Structure 1
Amino acid sequence: LLANPHPDLCTQAGSFRKLQKKGKWEAAAKQAGLSKADGGRLNDAANEHYTACCTAWDEMKQAIATPVLADLTDLLAPVVDRFRDYKRSAALLDFDDLIFAARDLLRGNEPVRQALAARFAHVLVDEFQDTDPHQIEIFWRLCGEPPEGASGDNWQDFRIRPGALFLVGDPKQAIYRFRGADVAAYLLAREA
């Protein structure tokens, strides 16, 4: 997992560079007595092999990372359990606890959801591209209504009340993926 490809093959961001050697292939083909078109075909073949190698490298790292992450998760489970028990005994909540508690309250208690929806008739969410799916569910439950006759279990079925929710965001500026922000959820919400 710690091995990296040769730095000449990578961009500063760490992804593989495009292989752009067509001119060199054409020059080598000419030197070998082949046509320029032969050089182009050799370049295309080299690009296919290069792309296959880059893909294989990425797949290999993912294949290694998946069981390592699973093992690490198992090893950390007792620590996470102890931390949760400590927070409970000290009556503390962290940021994630607040998100889950708010979501669960709106999800599981219709009278509370309706009362809060009436209290917060208009909601503006700035930097919406940095929200996570749990936060989006909170906004949908707070600013929307389930379809008539529906159970309300799926927040994506909720219809936003006209004027209740105003979102400001730019998916190109999403920077909080490390803490759960999900541009795909942003796009889903924008579509809805």
Structure 2
Amino acid sequence: MKALIIIDYTYDFVADDGKLTCGVPGQSIERRLTSITKHFIEQNDFVVFAVDLHEEDDPHHPEARLFPPHNIRGSQGREQYGKLGELVQSLTVQQKNSIFWMDKTRYSAFAGTNLDMKLRERGITELHLVGVCSDICVLHTAIEAYNKGYDLVIHEDAVQSFNSAGHQWALKHFTDVLGAKVVKDGYSTLIS
């Protein structure tokens, strides 16, 4: 059994005027990421939207020292970006109800969440990861998934970062250290 985890593909991380945007690199994966998400939804596979959540003026969060405020509760910054947001809006109520929407407050989608329990309840053994940033939240989610024994598939054409060198390093780390399959333009053979 497989699941798709869409990590932080939100307005704040992707839009030109997002609070912590990766900009054009993040925008370049919009069509592919949306296509992969649509495919998983149409196949009735388990789909997880892991969305970064921060509270306004929280000086105790470790990211407060590293990054400007972003993905603040109740803000436009937490909305799914572009075509992915349009896809979400077009889903039926039944489709929306079958998606697992989750808030995450750390880089990894597993840290402090019930994601592992939701995956194990469904017998999920293979995780497909898409989103941003490949060298931060996607990477930390992948590392924790690896440590929990999941098989990993990273969609190279649906992950990106504001840091080109970090992105390339992460792609190599996914394969060389985590044993992940890094795929591009041929995902249908892996997810059909």
State the TM-score, normalizing by the size of structure 1: 0.30
Instruction: Tell me which structure has the larger Cα radius of gyration.
Output: 1
Q: TM-score, normalised by structure 2?
A: 0.30
Q: Which has the higher strand share?
A: 2
Q: Which has the larger helix fraction?
A: 1
